[in-house]
Structure 1
Amino acid sequence: MIIREATKADLTTLLKFEQGIVDAERPFDSTLIEGEIHYYNLDYLIDSPDATLQVAEENNEVVASGYALIKESGKPYYNFKKYAYLGFMFVKPEHRGKGVNQLILDQLLGWTKEKGISEVRLDVYDQNEPAVRAYEKAGFEPLLLTMRLKV
């Protein structure tokens, strides 16, 4: 298994991964519109010096992805000015349970440390128990639960 920076040549596969994420999240979010949804600006994530988009490749096939993006905290009361936001965490179903997500996370966290960032955040649907467990296993802890009400 090779973990490497994504390139523009990976975009077709990455766009399929994006729809895989949307499909996985639909059961947890009734507010998502029908049809194709694009969460990510993949070109930006590939090109930006403030981001890294990593992929896992096995036998010349991209099987997983994830990014880290440096963001301003925007909150003067936080004890950090910048943090790394993680997203686009996807592993092809046939490669799940093999530690591939952890390999991507390790690469993203290493990049984050190299950039001098010590705070890392991500969003996950609280009902997505397998994802929550995977992030907790990697050392993440819950911080805030967003509540909603449709009136």
Structure 2
Amino acid sequence: MTIRTATLKDIEELLIFEQGIIDAERPMDITLKREKTYYYDLPYMINEPSIELLVAEIQGELVSCGYARIVKARECFQYERFSYLGFMFTKNEYRGKGINKKIMESLYDWTRSQGVHEVRLEVYPNNPAAIKAYEKAGMKECLVTMRVDLREKM
């Protein structure tokens, strides 16, 4: 397995990965559009120096991806910047093999190389497999996001 920085040549496969994430998250998030939608501007992410988009490749096949984006923190935090992880995806047949953990460890290394030491991500609380994978990579629960649709409260 090779972990490498994504290139513009990877976009076609990354678009498929993105739809896989959206399809998996729709049942967990009633606010997502039901028609085809997109989360990411992939060409921007590949070319932006404050973002590291990685892919895992096995025998020429892309099997997983994830990114780290350096973000300015709010003044109330002890750190000035943090690394936000997202676009964490692994093809079904490759899950449970530690690939996501290796991508995360590579993103941690990149984050350190940027002089940043705080890493965060968001995960749906009703996605125990993802939570377990992130915990294996050293993550701990920090905050729960809550919402209300005021149209339903009338």
Give the TM interval when normalised to the shorter protein.
over 0.9
3-state SS of paired residue (2:116): coil
- Matched ranges for 1:37-76 at <5 A: 37-73=37-73, 75-76=74-75
Give the 3-state SS of the residue equivalent to 2:4 in structure 1.
strand
Task: State the partner residue of 1:118.
Answer: 117
Tell me by how many angstroms 1:98 deviates: 0.6
CA RMSD between the two structures:
0.7
Q: Residue in 1 aligned with 2:17?
A: 17
Could you tell which deviates more after superposition, 92-101 or 35-44? 35-44
Show structure 1 runs of 5+ residues with no match. none
Runs of 4+ in 1 over 4 A off after TM superposition: none
SS of match in other structure, 1:142: coil
Which residue of structure 2 lines up, in the alignment, with residue 6 of structure 1?
6
Matching residue's letter, 2:22: V
What's the counterpart of residue 82 of structure 1?
A: 81
Greater shift in the superposed pair: 37-46 or 110-119: 37-46
Aligned partner of residue 67 in structure 1, secondary structure: strand
Q: Name stretches of at least 5 consecutive residues in structure 2 with no aligned partner.
A: none
2-structure distance, mates of 1:107, 1:32: 30
Post-superposition offset of 1:121: 0.5
The TM-score with structure 2 as length reference comes to: 0.95
2:63–2:91: 8 Å Cα contact kept in structure 1? yes
- Using the alignment, how far apart are the partners of 1:68 and 1:134 within structure 2? 17
Question: TM-score, structure 1 length as denominator?
Answer: 0.97
Q: In the alignment, does 2:101 pair up with 1:132?
A: no
Alignment length (residue pairs): 150
* Aligned counterparts of 2:105 and 2:35: Cα–Cα separation in 1: 33
Q: CA deviation at 1:44?
A: 1.3
Match of 1:102 in 2: 101
- Write the distance in 2 (CA, Å) between the matches of 1:96 and 1:134: 10
What residue identity is the alignment partner of 2:11? L
